[in-house]
Amino acid sequence: MTIQWFPGHMTKARRQIQEKLKLIDVVIELVDARLPLSSRNPMIDEILQGKPRLIVLNKSDLADPAVTRQWIDFFKQEGHLAIQVDAYTGQGIKEIPLLAKELMKEKIERQLAKGINPRAVRALIVGIPNVGKSTLINRLAGRNIAATGDRPGVTKAQQWIKVGTEMELLDTPGILWPKFEDQNVGYRLALTGAIREEILNVEDIAFFGVKYLVKYYWEPFRERFDLKDQPTDFENPDEIVAVMEAIGRKRGCIVSGGRVDLEKASGILLRELRAGKLGRYTLEAPY
Ligand code: G4P
């Protein structure tokens, strides 16, 4: 799904989330474990107005596990609770209601001390398009609730979904926009398929991806495309283009004169990358 985020849409999305904040106790901020910063909204702290928050790194099945652990430590050092899940299979999601309750611990203790029986913790899932909000809502609910492709501006009656006895979740997520101003963020989002590649140049996206991935995840590249030598100077564009040409030759993207069709090779590479054929990878590290 691609949403064209114009300033008016952003204001509307922000207002919709802030309306929902009045109804809930905790926010579940969903990010993509392969790009935990680039898949965040640039104004998230301001928008959430200090609501207790759990950061959930989704699609951890596709990300580099060692780097995911670093990201979780990073968010914890920033004072947030953070976990990794795979909303597609449901791996790790049982922790979510427990941690949501943990975020409300002090309030719950105060209520118990006053003899009040605390109600279930009310939560809202927020995140940019494609991070898996609908998938997670459906998993937590144990049935199909949210229509994938939910759009900002479409309002309907809010419903609460019971998640065990401890948590209630709003059935529609809060949709936020990514940080467009930084072109590298755009490349990372495009590499994972979170934004449509037509917005950016396909060769530029592939170049960006090859440059990063052959540096940190050389082995699956070497194996899949029969590559010989890992580039030595990753800042040298010629070395990166040479890898792209080798991939193109391997996939038969040859035009007249024996030249490699880089555009075609880039398209094939992106498809294979998104289909998980090049293994698990993370496109940015915290340290
Ligand atoms: P959104 O509401 O935040 O926009 O995201 P949505 O749930 O629609 O998920 C976007 C895509 O990400 C979907 O794939 C979904 O299956 C996939 N996805 C969500 N969570 C995970 C996860 O933890 N791991 C993996 N590997 N994929 C995940 P799609 O191709 O758009 O749809 P479909 O093929 O699943 O129908």
**Candidate of 5, 148, 192 to mutate for ligand 1, largest count of ligand atoms within 8 Å of Cβ:** 148
State how far Cα 265 lies from the chain centre. Answer: 26
Which ipTM value was assigned to this complex?
Answer: 0.97
Tell me how far apart the alpha carbons of residues 190 and 91 are, in angstroms, rounded to a whole number: 25
| Apex 177 CA angle, 171 and 178, nearest 5 | 125
Tell me how far apart the alpha carbons of residues 248 and 266 are, in angstroms, rounded to a whole number: 8
Residues 6+ apart with CB under 8 A from 119: none
- Give how far Cα 286 sits from Cα of 66, 75, 91, Å: 12, 9, 24
For residue 15, count other CB atoms closer than 10 A to its CB: 12
pLDDT, one tens digit per residue, over 267-277 is 999 999 999 99
Per domain, the residue ranges of the chain are 7-170, 202-275
The arithmetic mean of pLDDT across residues 273-287, rounded, is 95
The arithmetic mean of pLDDT across residues 85-110, rounded, is 96
**Candidate of 135, 176, 189, 195 to mutate for ligand 1, largest count of ligand atoms within 8 Å of Cβ:** 135
| Average pLDDT over all residues of the chain | 93
- pLDDT tops 60 at residue 153: no
**Quick one: tokens of 117?**
């029986």
Q: Kindly indicate the confidence band of residue 143, based on its pLDDT and cuts at 50, 70 and 90.
A: confident
What's the CA-to-centroid distance between 61 and ligand 1, angstroms? 12
**Candidate of 29, 84, 88, 145 to mutate for ligand 1, largest count of ligand atoms within 8 Å of Cβ:** 88
Domain topology for 202-275: Conserved Hypothetical Protein Ylqf; Chain: A; domain 2 (1.10.1580)
pLDDT of amino acid 196: 75
Give me the residue label for tokens 């990794």: 84
What's the CA-to-centroid distance between 87 and ligand 1, angstroms? 8
Tell me how far apart the alpha carbons of residues 38 and 130 are, in angstroms, rounded to a whole number: 13
Strand, coil or helix: 139:
helix
The arithmetic mean of pLDDT across residues 48-61, rounded, is 97
- Is the CB of residue 198 less than 8 Å from the CB of residue 181? no
- pLDDT tops 80 at residue 197: no
What's the CA-to-centroid distance between 130 and ligand 1, angstroms? 6
- Is the CB of residue 31 less than 8 Å from the CB of residue 80? no
pTM flag (> 0.90):
yes
**Quick one: tokens of 29?**
């901020």
Residues with CB under 6 A from ligand 1: 1, 58-59, 61-62, 86-88, 127, 129-135, 148
Q: Taking the domain 7-170, which CATH number applies? A: 3.40.50.300
Tell me how far apart the alpha carbons of residues 202 and 64 are, in angstroms, rounded to a whole number: 24
- Is the CB of residue 160 less than 8 Å from the CB of residue 170? yes
- Give how far Cα 49 sits from Cα of 14, 22, 97, 170, 252, Å: 11, 11, 21, 18, 53
